[in-house]
A and B are shown apart, each in its own frame.
Chain A
Amino acid sequence: EPEVTQTPSHQVTQMGQEVILRCVPISNHLYFYWYRQILGQKVEFLVSFYNNEISEKSEIFDDQFSVERPDGSNFTLKIRSTKLEDSAMYFCASSVLGRFTDTQYFGPGTRLTVL
């Protein structure tokens, strides 16, 4: 069964460094999402992406964050200058249809630790 994959599974970085988290969505899916969960807190929506554009973003998704689909398969989340509070589990998801009313398939997550 096709699945969403994410790399790396764990990323450790120093405060102020740039990180890129990678996701490979399911191949026929058109809508892509990033979520995060800070330890002990609720899952939070970051951004949705369709047709090479951001379609929705939350207040968390500020200028430090960017997303890209650099080729036909990868979907990346870049954090420009990491802060301690960016430490979290980051999940990528994809769906065939969008507007959040279609089933979303989640990847296994990347644990980001900012030191």
Chain B
Amino acid sequence: ILNVEQSPQSLHVQEGDSTNFTCSFPSSNFYALHWYRWETAKSPEALFVMTLNGDEKKKGRISATLNTKEGYSYLYIKGSQPEDSATYLCAFLSDRDSSYKLIFGSGTRLLVRP
């Protein structure tokens, strides 16, 4: 059974703190990893789609790294702001015999206090 784990489940930080969280996924049959930012009462917003081992992607103060060999991705937020408060979801895409499975993690809920 494919499982995707995210840690921590929730995180409270002070404005200006930098933070990071983890997405762990199976290291076999990797095809892609997605990161989403999901604010309450809004739609999930795509942050990154990562496909290559060693990938590093950046969008403003948010960046992500990918290690497909050991099965993890880190999401970093530099200098957190209250508007970064959201749930951050990762989704692992596996490719086995040309059949794709997209499995989501439970998310890390980030609250940034002013």
Chain A interface residues (CB < 8 Å from chain B): 4, 42-45, 56, 58, 91, 99-109
Contact = CB atoms under 8 A, between A and B. Distances in A.
Contacts of B34: 100, 104
Given A100-B32, A100-B93, A101-B49, A106 B43 contact: yes
Contacts of A45: 101-104
Size class of the contact patch on chain B: 20 to 34
Contacts, number: 48
18 contacts: A4-B43, A42-B103, A42-B106, A43-B44, A43-B91, A43-B104, A44-B104, A45-B101, A45-B104, A58-B101, A91-B43, A100-B32, A100-B102, A101-B32, A102-B49, A105-B46, A106-B44, A108-B43
B45 A106 contact: yes
A91 B42 contact: no
Contacts of A42: 103-106
B67 interface: no
Nearest to B105: A42
